[in-house]
Amino acid sequence: MQDVVIKTDKLTKRFGDFVATNAITFGVYKGEIFGFLGANGAGKTTAMRMLCGLSKPSSGDATIAGFNVYRETEEIKKNIGYMSQKFSLYEDLTVLENIRFFGGIYGLTDQQIKTKSEELIERLGLESEAKKLVGSLPLGWKQKLSFSVAVLHEPRIVFLDEPTGGVDPVTRRQFWDLIYAAAERGVTVFVTTHYMDEAEYCNRISIMVDGKIEALDSPTQLKRNFNASSMDEVFYQLARGAKRGD
Amino acid sequence: MRCFTNSPGVQNAETNMKQFAIFVKKEFAHVLRDRKTLLILFGMPVMQILIFGFALTNEVKNSAIVVVDYAQDEASQRLISRIEASRYFEVNKAAIDHHQIEESFKQGNVKLALIFPQNFEADLMHQNKAQVQIITDATDPNTANTLTNYMTAIIQDYQADINQNASIAYRIIPETKMLYNPQLKSVHGFVPGVMALVLMLVCVMMTAVSIVREKEMGTMEILLVSPFKPLLVILSKAVPYLILSLINVASILCLSVFVLDLPVNGSLILLFAESTLFIITCLTIGIFISVRTGSQQVAMLISLMGMMLPTILFSGFMFPIENMPKVLQLITNIVPAKWYYIIVKSIMIKGLGFSAIWKETVILLGMTLFLLIISLKTFKIRLA
C-alpha cells in the first residue's frame, strides 16, 4: 500500500446557490504526478484553492500531507509548494533576490538558501543571468525558475496551476523534465493543464466536468475505457456534456 | 504517521521576525528600483515646497506703487525720490485722491500706496515727528509683508540721514494697513499644508498601489499559500513607507527652515511623533483601499480623487473652513488631514505643546484604529 498524501472526501464548495466543486473524492499517492483536468469553469481552480488552504470548504473533508484543511492550514502551507498560472516571481528583483526572498519566507536558513540557490542556478544553467532582473528573462526560463522556486523548500506536494500556459513545445518538454526530476526526489506533483499531450505525461489523471470528477485513472486505462485513441478524444467525450463554460 | 512540529513560541517569533525583515528588505528593493516611484516620493515634496515657497517669498522687485502726496513739500519730495531710486518700486505719481487707492488695488495694478499728510514737513520740523501711511494689498500676504518691510526700511534710512546733523531726533512713524487680510493668514500656512498633502499622497497611494500590485501580478497568491502570515504581508508593506515618509517630513522641514527661513517654533520631537501618527493613519487608509480594489489604476484613482481632493478642499490649507457652509464644515471633520494640519500649525508656527493639541491627536488616533479594524476585518473576509 502506497502512502496517500492528498485525500479528499466529498469535498464541496458552494458560492451561494452555485456549487463550484461538488463532493469530489479522490486520493493522490506520494511521488505521483497527478493531472487534474477539466474544461474552463469545471471547478479545478476552486478545488485547488481548497487543497492549498486558500479557501475554506463548504462541506466534506480533506487532508493534505496528513493535515486537515479546516484546522491545520498553517501546517499545510509549510508542506506544500505552489505555482500559479500567472507568472508570479517579482520582475523587478534579480533571479538571486527572488530565490533568497522565497527561501526566506519559507523559513530556510541563510546557509540552506545559499547552497540551494547555487544548485538551482546550475541546474537551470542560469549562471550568467543570476544577477539580472527576472523581468528581462524569456518566458520559458521564467516558468522554469518559477517552478524551481516553488519546490525550493522541498515541499511534500507541489501544486501547479496551468504552469505551461503560453510556452512553446520545446520549453514545455524541458519543464516536464523538471517535474519528473522533482517526482523522483519524492515530491508529489498535482498539476492542472489544458494540454492533452501533457496529460499523457501524468501517472494518473482526473477529469472534472461541472464540479464533479467524471473519470480518474491512468491515461492508458482511460483511453481503453473510453475506447479512444488519444486523451483528446477522452476529454472531448466527457466535456461535451458540460453545462458550464466560460 | 502524523507529526506535529509545534515549535516553541520564542523560536516562532524569531522566524517571524526574520521573515519580516526579509520582506521589508524586498519592499525597499521595489521602491528603490522604481525610478518613477522614487521621483514621486522624493521629488514631489521638494517641488511643492519650492513652488509654494517661492511663489510666496521670492524677492519682490519693481512693484507698482502709488504715492499720494498731500504735503508737496521738500521733505516729502526727498523721501519720494529715495523710493524712486530703489529697485523695488515703480512709483506712479499720478495725482490721485486717496479714495481712488482702493480702486487701483482692485484693478490689481498697484501693490502698495504711500500717503503723506498735508503738513508732513511742518510736523517733522516742529513736533519732531511725522506720520506716513502705508496701505498694501494683502490678498497676497507675503508680498504685502515684504513690500511693507522694504518701504519701512527706506523711510528709516531717510530718517537716519536727517538725524545725522540734528540735535533732536526726528521721527517718521509709518502707519501700516493691510487691506483685505489684516492677520496675514496663510503666510506660513502652506508648509503644514504641503506636509499633510505630501504624506497623504505618498502613504495612501503608494501603499495601496504596492499591495494591489501583488494582487495583480499574482504574487499575493503565492504569499498567501506560503507560511508567511497575511497580517505580516500588510505590515511589511507599510514599514518602508513609514520610514520613507519620515525622511520626507525631515526633508520638508529642512527646506522650510533653511531655504524658506520658516523656523519650527515648537518641539521637534512632538512634531515627528504627531507626523508618525498621521503617517500611520494614511497607511491604514492605503491598506483599506488596497483590500477593496483589484487593480492598480483603480487604487490610484481612488487615492487621488478620494484623498487628494478632500485634503486640498477640506483641510483648511487652501480654503478657510470658517467661510464654508455649515454642512461642508461638518464634512471637514472626517478629513484626517484637517486635524494633522491644525496640529502641525500649532507646533510649527505657534510653538504650542502637547496640551494644546491633545484633542486633535485623540481624534486622529481614533480614526486610525477605526480604519485599521475595518481593513483587517475586510482582509480576513477576502481570504475566506
Check residue B1 and give its pLDDT.
Answer: 39
Question: Which residues in chain B are contacts of A100 at CB distance < 8 A?
Answer: 22
Task: Please report whether residue B333 resides in a domain.
Answer: yes
The b-or-e profile of A202-231 (16+ CB within 10 A means b, else e) is bebbbbbbbbebbbbbebeebbeebeeeeb
Boundaries of domain holding B352: 12-55+188-383
What single DSSP character describes residue B60? Answer: P
Q: What is the mean pLDDT of residues B184-192?
A: 62
pTM for the model: 0.72
Check residue B324 and give its pLDDT.
Answer: 78
Interface of A with B in 152-171 (CB under 8 A): 159
Nearest by CB to residue B22, choosing from A85, A87, A105, is: A105
CA distance A206 to A222: 10
Check residue B272 and give its pLDDT.
Answer: 94
Whether B324 and B258 have beta carbons less than 8 Å apart is answered as: no
Task: Please report whether residue A14 resides in a domain.
Answer: no
Q: How many domains would you assign to chain A?
A: 1
Give the confidence band of B140 by pLDDT, cuts at 50, 70, 90.
Answer: low
B4 has pLDDT over 50: no
Q: Which residue has the higher pLDDT, A241 or A136?
A: A136
Q: Which residue has the higher pLDDT, A86 or A185?
A: A185
B270 and B169: one domain? no
Task: Please report whether residue B2 resides in a domain.
Answer: no
| Paired residues of A29 in beta bridges | A4
**B221 and chain A in contact, CB less than 8 A:** yes
Q: How many domains would you assign to chain B?
A: 2
Q: Which three cell numbers stand for residue A154?
A: 522541498
Q: Which residue has the higher pLDDT, B322 or B328?
A: B328
Torsion of CA B153, B155, B161, B166, to 10 degrees: -130
Q: How far is B236 from chain A, CA to nearest CA, in Å?
A: 12
Over residues B295-321, the pLDDT tens digits come to 888 888 888 888 888 888 888 777 777
Instruction: For residue B230, count CB atoms less than 10 angstroms from its CB and return exposed for 0-12, middle for 13-18, buried for 19 or more.
Output: middle
How many Å separate Cα A224 from the centre of its chain? 26
B275 and B360: one domain? yes
Over residues B92-118, the pLDDT tens digits come to 766 677 677 777 777 667 778 888 888
Supply the CATH number for residue A163's domain. 3.40.50.300
Boundaries of domain holding A124: 28-42+79-239
CA angle B32, B38, B40 (to 5 degrees): 160
What is the radius of gyration, based on Cα positions, of chain B? Answer: 29
What single DSSP character describes residue A94? Answer: B
Over residues A84-139, the pLDDT tens digits come to 887 789 999 999 999 999 999 888 888 999 999 999 999 888 889 889 999 899 88
B79 and B153: one domain? yes
Task: Please report whether residue B112 resides in a domain.
Answer: yes
B381 has pLDDT over 80: no
Q: What is the mean pLDDT of residues B77-103?
A: 78
B149 and B205: one domain? no
Whether B128 and B171 have beta carbons less than 8 Å apart is answered as: yes
The ipTM estimated for the assembled molecules is 0.85
Question: Which residues in chain B are contacts of A83 at CB distance < 8 A?
Answer: 222
Lowest mean pLDDT among A139-148, B126-135, B169-178, B339-348: B169-178
Task: Please report whether residue A224 resides in a domain.
Answer: yes
B253 has pLDDT over 50: yes
Task: Please report whether residue A10 resides in a domain.
Answer: no
Q: What is the mean pLDDT of chain B?
A: 81
Task: Please report whether residue A9 resides in a domain.
Answer: no
B155 and B256: one domain? no
Task: Please report whether residue A130 resides in a domain.
Answer: yes
What DSSP assignment string belongs to A95-154? HHHHHHHHHHHTT--HHHHHHHHHHHHHHHT-GGGTTSBGGGS-HHHHHHHHHHHHTTT-
Q: What is the mean pLDDT of residues B65-80?
A: 82
B50 and B100: one domain? no
Task: Please report whether residue A193 resides in a domain.
Answer: yes
B252 and B368: one domain? yes
Task: Please report whether residue B197 resides in a domain.
Answer: yes
Check residue A180 and give its pLDDT.
Answer: 94
Task: Please report whether residue B71 resides in a domain.
Answer: yes
Give the confidence band of B192 by pLDDT, cuts at 50, 70, 90.
Answer: confident
Task: Please report whether residue A59 resides in a domain.
Answer: no
B24 and B51: one domain? yes
CA distance B225 to B221: 6
Q: What is the mean pLDDT of residues B274-279?
A: 95
Whether A153 and A108 have beta carbons less than 8 Å apart is answered as: yes
**Domain termination site, one of B133, B153, B179:** B179
Check residue B56 and give its pLDDT.
Answer: 53
Check residue B5 and give its pLDDT.
Answer: 44
**Domain termination site, one of B179, B203, B230:** B179
**B10 and chain A in contact, CB less than 8 A:** no
B33: left (phi over 0), alpha (psi -120 to 50) or beta: alpha
CA distance A219 to A237: 14
Give the confidence band of B136 by pLDDT, cuts at 50, 70, 90.
Answer: confident
B225 and B123: one domain? no
CB contact under 8 A, A107 and B33: no
The secondary structure of A55-92, three-state, reads CCCCEEEEEECCEECCCCHHHHHHHEEEECCCCCCCCC
Question: Which residues in chain B are contacts of A102 at CB distance < 8 A?
Answer: 222, 226
> Which residues fall within 8 angstroms of residue B126, CB to CB, at 6 or more apart?
none
Q: Is A20 helix (H, G, I), strand (E, B) or coil?
A: strand
CB contact under 8 A, B226 and A84: no
**A30 and chain B in contact, CB less than 8 A:** no
Give the confidence band of A29 by pLDDT, cuts at 50, 70, 90.
Answer: very high
B59 has pLDDT over 80: no
Task: Please report whether residue B293 resides in a domain.
Answer: yes
How many Å separate Cα B253 from the centre of its chain? 10
Task: Please report whether residue B90 resides in a domain.
Answer: yes
CA distance A32 to A39: 22
Lowest mean pLDDT among A32-36, A91-95, B222-226: B222-226
B172 and B239: one domain? no
Task: Please report whether residue A181 resides in a domain.
Answer: yes
Task: Please report whether residue B5 resides in a domain.
Answer: no
B138 and B268: one domain? no
**Domain termination site, one of B179, B197, B220:** B179
Supply the CATH number for residue B99's domain. 3.40.1710.10
Which contacts (CB < 8 Å, 24+ apart) does range A116-122 have?
A: A116/A152, A120/A148, A120/A149, A120/A152, A121/A95, A121/A96
B172 and B195: one domain? no
